[in-house]
Protein backbone atom coordinates (compact mmCIF):
# COMPACT_ATOMS: atom_id res chain seq x y z
CA UNK A 1 0.00 0.00 0.00
CA UNK A 2 1.14 3.55 -0.74
CA UNK A 3 -0.02 4.91 2.64
CA UNK A 4 -2.14 7.54 0.88
CA UNK A 5 -5.63 8.57 2.00
CA UNK A 6 -7.79 11.12 0.17
CA UNK A 7 -10.78 12.71 1.89
CA UNK A 8 -13.62 14.16 -0.12
CA UNK A 9 -17.18 14.15 -1.38
CA UNK A 10 -17.52 11.90 -4.46
CA UNK A 11 -18.49 14.04 -7.45
CA UNK A 12 -16.28 16.99 -6.44
CA UNK A 13 -14.10 17.92 -9.44
CA UNK A 14 -11.20 18.92 -7.18
CA UNK A 15 -11.30 15.57 -5.39
CA UNK A 16 -11.48 13.90 -8.79
CA UNK A 17 -8.41 15.72 -10.06
CA UNK A 18 -6.36 14.35 -7.16
CA UNK A 19 -7.73 10.84 -7.76
CA UNK A 20 -6.94 11.12 -11.48
CA UNK A 21 -3.33 12.12 -10.69
CA UNK A 22 -3.06 9.08 -8.40
CA UNK A 23 -4.44 6.80 -11.13
CA UNK A 24 -2.10 8.32 -13.74
CA UNK A 25 0.79 7.44 -11.41
CA UNK A 26 -0.57 3.94 -10.86
CA UNK A 27 -0.75 4.52 -7.10
CA UNK A 28 -3.24 2.81 -4.84
CA UNK A 29 -4.94 4.90 -2.16
CA UNK A 30 -7.78 4.85 0.30
CA UNK A 31 -10.73 7.12 -0.45
CA UNK A 32 -12.42 8.39 2.70
CA UNK A 33 -15.75 9.30 1.10
CA UNK A 34 -17.74 11.96 2.93
CA UNK A 35 -21.39 12.94 2.67
CA UNK A 36 -22.26 16.57 1.77
CA UNK A 37 -22.18 18.62 4.98
CA UNK A 38 -19.54 16.43 6.62
CA UNK A 39 -16.91 18.81 5.20
CA UNK A 40 -18.11 21.50 7.63
CA UNK A 41 -17.92 19.23 10.69
CA UNK A 42 -15.07 19.56 13.25
CA UNK A 43 -13.48 16.26 12.19
CA UNK A 44 -12.95 17.55 8.64
CA UNK A 45 -12.21 21.13 9.69
CA UNK A 46 -9.25 19.70 11.59
CA UNK A 47 -7.95 18.41 8.23
CA UNK A 48 -9.04 21.41 6.19
CA UNK A 49 -9.72 24.62 8.17
CA UNK A 50 -11.49 26.17 5.14
CA UNK A 51 -14.06 23.36 5.11
CA UNK A 52 -13.49 22.26 1.53
CA UNK A 53 -12.51 19.07 -0.21
CA UNK A 54 -10.21 17.31 -0.91
CA UNK A 55 -7.80 16.73 1.97
CA UNK A 56 -4.88 14.34 1.73
CA UNK A 57 -2.57 12.28 3.89
CA UNK A 58 0.59 10.35 3.03
CA UNK A 59 2.29 8.38 5.79
CA UNK A 60 1.22 10.98 8.38
CA UNK A 61 2.01 13.99 6.17
CA UNK A 62 -1.20 16.00 5.76
CA UNK A 63 -2.04 18.49 3.02
CA UNK A 64 -4.94 20.32 1.41
CA UNK A 65 -5.31 22.37 -1.80
CA UNK A 66 -5.56 20.17 -4.87
CA UNK A 67 -2.75 21.82 -6.79
CA UNK A 68 -0.33 21.41 -3.88
CA UNK A 69 -1.40 17.77 -3.47
CA UNK A 70 -0.91 16.93 -7.15
CA UNK A 71 2.45 18.73 -7.28
CA UNK A 72 3.55 16.81 -4.16
CA UNK A 73 2.50 13.52 -5.80
CA UNK A 74 4.35 14.47 -8.96
CA UNK A 75 7.58 15.15 -7.10
CA UNK A 76 7.29 12.18 -4.77
CA UNK A 77 6.28 9.68 -7.46
CA UNK A 78 7.92 11.13 -10.60
CA UNK A 79 6.75 8.54 -13.15
CA UNK A 80 5.07 9.33 -15.40
CA UNK A 81 5.76 13.07 -14.97
CA UNK A 82 2.77 15.42 -14.94
CA UNK A 83 4.96 18.54 -15.26
CA UNK A 84 6.72 19.41 -18.53
CA UNK A 85 10.53 19.56 -18.35
CA UNK A 86 10.66 22.46 -20.80
CA UNK A 87 10.40 25.86 -19.01
CA UNK A 88 8.09 27.41 -21.61
CA UNK A 89 5.71 24.45 -21.59
CA UNK A 90 5.86 24.40 -17.79
CA UNK A 91 5.00 28.10 -17.72
CA UNK A 92 1.96 27.45 -19.97
CA UNK A 93 0.82 24.68 -17.63
CA UNK A 94 1.18 27.02 -14.65
CA UNK A 95 -0.67 29.78 -16.50
CA UNK A 96 -3.62 27.46 -17.19
CA UNK A 97 -3.69 26.35 -13.54
CA UNK A 98 -3.79 30.02 -12.52
CA UNK A 99 -6.69 30.67 -14.91
CA UNK A 100 -8.59 27.67 -13.51
CA UNK A 101 -8.10 28.76 -9.90
CA UNK A 102 -8.69 32.52 -10.27
CA UNK A 103 -11.22 32.86 -13.07
CA UNK A 104 -12.62 29.63 -14.45
CA UNK A 105 -13.65 27.74 -11.30
CA UNK A 106 -14.84 30.50 -8.97
CA UNK A 107 -16.35 32.89 -11.52
CA UNK A 108 -17.62 30.57 -14.27
CA UNK A 109 -17.76 26.82 -13.64
CA UNK A 110 -18.85 26.88 -9.98
CA UNK A 111 -21.79 29.32 -10.32
CA UNK A 112 -23.10 27.58 -13.46
CA UNK A 113 -22.67 23.95 -12.32
CA UNK A 114 -23.96 24.72 -8.83
CA UNK A 115 -27.06 26.53 -10.08
CA UNK A 116 -27.86 24.02 -12.84
CA UNK A 117 -26.98 20.73 -11.13
CA UNK A 118 -25.93 20.66 -7.49
CA UNK A 119 -28.31 23.27 -6.01
CA UNK A 120 -31.62 22.52 -7.73
CA UNK A 121 -31.24 18.80 -8.39
CA UNK A 122 -29.35 17.57 -5.36
CA UNK A 123 -29.99 20.12 -2.62
CA UNK A 124 -33.49 21.24 -3.60
CA UNK A 125 -32.45 24.90 -3.89
CA UNK A 126 -33.96 27.29 -6.47
CA UNK A 127 -31.82 28.02 -9.54
CA UNK A 128 -30.31 31.47 -9.39
CA UNK A 129 -30.62 32.46 -13.06
CA UNK A 130 -29.04 35.85 -12.34
CA UNK A 131 -25.89 34.14 -11.01
CA UNK A 132 -25.68 32.04 -14.19
CA UNK A 133 -26.17 35.09 -16.41
CA UNK A 134 -23.50 36.93 -14.45
CA UNK A 135 -21.05 34.03 -14.87
CA UNK A 136 -21.49 33.69 -18.64
CA UNK A 137 -19.24 36.54 -19.83
CA UNK A 138 -16.37 35.19 -17.70
CA UNK A 139 -17.10 31.65 -18.94
CA UNK A 140 -16.91 32.90 -22.56
CA UNK A 141 -13.61 34.68 -21.88
CA UNK A 142 -12.17 31.54 -20.25
CA UNK A 143 -13.14 29.34 -23.19
CA UNK A 144 -11.74 31.79 -25.71
CA UNK A 145 -8.47 32.10 -23.81
CA UNK A 146 -8.11 28.38 -23.09
CA UNK A 147 -8.91 27.47 -26.69
CA UNK A 148 -6.14 29.84 -27.81
CA UNK A 149 -3.64 28.47 -25.27
CA UNK A 150 -4.36 24.88 -26.32
CA UNK A 151 -4.06 25.83 -29.99
CA UNK A 152 -3.05 22.83 -32.08
CA UNK A 153 -1.18 21.12 -29.24
CA UNK A 154 -2.32 17.76 -27.97
CA UNK A 155 -2.28 18.92 -24.33
CA UNK A 156 -1.85 22.28 -22.58
CA UNK A 157 1.79 21.55 -21.75
CA UNK A 158 2.68 20.00 -25.12
CA UNK A 159 2.63 16.34 -26.06
CA UNK A 160 2.00 14.88 -22.61
CA UNK A 161 -0.81 15.18 -20.09
CA UNK A 162 0.02 17.69 -17.36
CA UNK A 163 -1.50 18.89 -14.09
CA UNK A 164 -3.37 21.62 -16.00
CA UNK A 165 -5.07 19.07 -18.27
CA UNK A 166 -6.15 16.96 -15.31
CA UNK A 167 -7.53 19.88 -13.31
CA UNK A 168 -9.37 21.48 -16.22
CA UNK A 169 -10.88 18.27 -17.63
CA UNK A 170 -12.17 17.27 -14.17
CA UNK A 171 -13.99 20.64 -14.00
CA UNK A 172 -15.18 20.59 -17.60
CA UNK A 173 -16.66 17.11 -17.47
CA UNK A 174 -19.25 18.40 -14.99
CA UNK A 175 -19.74 21.83 -16.55
CA UNK A 176 -20.29 20.39 -20.02
CA UNK A 177 -23.32 18.51 -18.65
CA UNK A 178 -25.09 21.87 -18.30
CA UNK A 179 -26.69 23.52 -21.39
CA UNK A 180 -24.40 26.53 -20.96
CA UNK A 181 -21.26 24.39 -20.66
CA UNK A 182 -22.22 22.24 -23.62
CA UNK A 183 -22.79 25.32 -25.80
CA UNK A 184 -19.45 26.80 -24.74
CA UNK A 185 -17.47 23.62 -25.48
CA UNK A 186 -19.12 22.77 -28.81
CA UNK A 187 -17.05 23.65 -31.86
CA UNK A 188 -13.90 24.61 -29.92
CA UNK A 189 -10.56 22.78 -29.90
CA UNK A 190 -11.32 22.11 -26.24
CA UNK A 191 -14.07 19.70 -27.37
CA UNK A 192 -11.69 17.17 -28.99
CA UNK A 193 -9.15 17.64 -26.16
CA UNK A 194 -11.85 16.93 -23.56
CA UNK A 195 -12.95 13.79 -25.40
CA UNK A 196 -9.31 12.62 -25.39
CA UNK A 197 -8.97 13.32 -21.68
CA UNK A 198 -12.24 11.59 -20.75
CA UNK A 199 -11.18 8.49 -22.71
CA UNK A 200 -8.15 8.01 -20.42
CA UNK A 201 -8.41 5.08 -17.98
CA UNK A 202 -7.77 7.50 -15.08
CA UNK A 203 -10.94 9.43 -15.95
CA UNK A 204 -13.00 6.30 -16.58
CA UNK A 205 -11.92 4.96 -13.16
CA UNK A 206 -13.04 8.14 -11.38
CA UNK A 207 -16.42 8.74 -13.03
CA UNK A 208 -18.65 10.96 -10.87
CA UNK A 209 -21.46 9.08 -9.11
CA UNK A 210 -24.36 8.16 -11.43
CA UNK A 211 -26.64 10.27 -9.22
CA UNK A 212 -24.74 13.42 -10.24
CA UNK A 213 -24.78 12.57 -13.94
CA UNK A 214 -28.49 11.77 -13.83
CA UNK A 215 -29.12 15.09 -12.11
CA UNK A 216 -27.42 17.00 -14.94
Ligand X SMILES: N[C@@H](CCC(=O)N[C@@H](CS)C(=O)NCC(=O)O)C(=O)O
Indicate whether 13 belongs to the interface with ligand X (CB under 6 A): yes
Indicate whether 65 belongs to the interface with ligand X (CB under 6 A): yes
Select the residue interacting with ligand X from 22, 66, 109, 132 (CB under 6 A). 66
Indicate whether 52 belongs to the interface with ligand X (CB under 6 A): yes
Please, which residue, 13 or 157, has the CB nearer to ligand X? Answer: 13
For 185, residues 6+ apart whose C-beta sits below 8 A from its C-beta are 143, 172, 176, 191, 194
Site string for ligand X, 18-47 (x = CB under 6 A): ---------------------x--------
Dist. CA 3–CA 141, nearest whole Å: 41
- Torsion, Cα of 72, 207, 162, 145 (10° steps): -120
In a 13 Å sphere around the CA of 90, the CA atoms on its Cβ side amount to 8
CA distances from 73 to 15, 17, 32, 50, 172 (A): 14, 12, 18, 22, 22
Which span sits near ligand X by CB under 6 A: 49-57, 76-84, 136-144, 199-207? 49-57
Indicate whether 115 belongs to the interface with ligand X (CB under 6 A): no
Q: Which residues bind ligand X (CB under 6 A)?
A: 12-14, 39, 51-53, 65-67
Amino acid sequence: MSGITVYGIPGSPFLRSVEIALKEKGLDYRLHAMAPGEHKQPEHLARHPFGRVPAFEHDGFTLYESQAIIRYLDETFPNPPLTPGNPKQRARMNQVIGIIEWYFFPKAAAPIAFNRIVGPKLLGLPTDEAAIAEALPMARTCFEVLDGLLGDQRYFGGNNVSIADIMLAAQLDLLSETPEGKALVTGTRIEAWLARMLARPSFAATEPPAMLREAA
